[in-house]
Chains A and B, each alone.
Chain A
């Protein structure tokens, strides 16, 4: 059965007490649509210190197979904290272009 959009939910679709039983389903929202600037990672400078991973308020910087760190652009809001905190200037914030 195709999942209903939030605005299509009827009163019968709701759980008792409007309890939400899908943990973390907020991760459907593309918060990446919010940003007006985006981080560009030059991994040649990256020493895999992991600080960007720690400091990201979204928790959307992920460790890749080689152990380097990359932002998940689906969620990245473009705050620039990773750029500000990286000790090796791996990250540059550039203006996000309209598509």
Chain B
């Protein structure tokens, strides 16, 4: 029987990692993730999590240590934010190209300069192309559920890829929420023991990380891409099984009153819950609006996304990251690319807002939807708008 606990979401991540029976945690503290590293350290110190805790001296070393422990067959976890994700950037690519099923929680944080410990999606967007499976969560329950799913997905013999769980720094990480935790025996049935297909062992010596000259490097990249695309099938299977076992269902694209709505708003992460309140208010005023959220960011769910927007005339996209000098928000760019070749597609309007932890209120979302509709009719001089900045 699952128990419901009021708990800070970061600590809940630690509890989920304990339920998943992680073997190695190699983590470096950074706001707003630190409570994850700290709570895991407590759990290890009290003997509740039987793992080796490696208090590494930087994030670059954190992800590097994860490579080593995963390669010998230990279930491995780490967590980071913002600058930390940037510091480990080159190692992140290696984890996926070497097919090491590490699970990482990222408490999304804005990037310097100026220094900001508060949340936005700049760090996430910088790792778009790294080849990890990436899942967005909006509240504490989703965080726990998807951390458990992450281990299961990552280690599936058909996948064997690292997984990132993206949760908004402070706005989600530091919330105290009521969360259902499954029983240990239920989790044990859901996540089988980890068995890496070709581990480092003297019994069967392998060489990992040989260098790739031009005659062979592209072949390794095609293999990697095919594998990431193929993981979607497994992700859907795992979510389906999770739904059957634990009663909570997850989809690549989540809908909120969006079917048939003429105007859609697209958000990702915890700000979606405020956006839902905005949708409720606008709909009670008779506006034909709905909300969609991309949960599965990588591999990008083209089919589900196109299906979700097929009846919309206007799609307003909120980005919490900016690509300077480019088309504005990364999510909006991807959304446009996903729909460009469709015969029928909505007009797409992009907003960048919520940078550096700036709140977006219900009124803020209502403004963006209305302004988005206006732009879709009258056009705009700008490629995108930055909302919420004092002029």
Contact = CB atoms under 8 A, between A and B. Distances in A.
A and B co-occur in one complex: yes
Interface of A: 6-7, 9-21, 23
A80 to B, nearest CB: 29
- The secondary-structure label for the interface of chain B is loop
Contacts of B206: 19-21, 23
A23 B207 CA distance: 7
A16 B99 contact: yes
The 8 closest A-B pairs by CB, nearest first: A17-B99, A11-B219, A11-B222, A20-B207, A11-B223, A17-B98, A23-B205, A18-B220
B198 A19 contact: yes
B169 to A, nearest CB: 31
A16 B160 contact: yes
A17 B70 CA distance: 13
B216 A9 contact: yes
B226 interface: yes
Contacts of B99: 16-17
A16 B197 contact: yes
A20 B210 contact: yes
B226 A17 contact: no
B212 interface: yes
A38 B41 CA distance: 61
Given A6-B215, A9-B216, A23-B205, A17 B97 contact: yes
Nearest to B100: A17
B223 A14 contact: yes
Contacts of A15: 198
A51 to B, nearest CB: 29
Interface of B: 97-100, 160, 197-198, 204-208, 210, 212, 215-216, 218-220, 222-223, 226
Contacts of A9: 216, 219
9 contacts: A6-B216, A9-B216, A14-B220, A17-B98, A17-B160, A19-B208, A20-B207, A21-B206, A23-B207
A18 B197 contact: no
A16 B215 CA distance: 18
**Secondary structure type dominating chain A contacts:** loop
Max chain B CB contacts within 10 Å: which of A16, A17, A20, A21? A17
Contacts, number: 49
The residue among A14, A18, A23 with the most chain B CB atoms within 10 A of its own CB is: A18
Contact of B212 (A12, A18, A23): A18
B207 A14 contact: no
B223 A19 contact: no
Nearest to A25: B207
A7 B215 CA distance: 6
A21 B198 contact: yes
Contacts of A19: 198, 206-208
Contacts of B98: 17-18
A19 B224 CA distance: 13
A10 B212 CA distance: 14
Nearest to A16: B99
Contacts of B160: 16-17
Given A6-B215, A6-B216, A7-B215, A12 B223 contact: yes
A7 B218 CA distance: 12
A25 to B, nearest CB: 9
A6 B216 CA distance: 8
B198 to A, nearest CB: 5
Residue in B207, B210, B212, B218 whose Cβ sees the most chain A Cβ within 10 Å? B207
Contacts of A16: 99, 160, 197-198
Contacts of A17: 97-100, 160, 198, 208
A12 B204 CA distance: 22
Given A17-B160, A19-B198, 19 more contacts: A6-B215, A9-B216, A9-B219, A10-B219, A11-B220, A11-B223, A12-B223, A13-B219, A14-B220, A18-B97, A18-B98, A18-B220, A19-B207, A19-B208, A20-B206, A20-B207, A23-B205, A23-B206, A23-B207
A69 B216 CA distance: 39
B144 to A, nearest CB: 29
A13 B220 CA distance: 10
A19 B197 CA distance: 11
A63 B288 CA distance: 87
Contacts of A6: 215-216
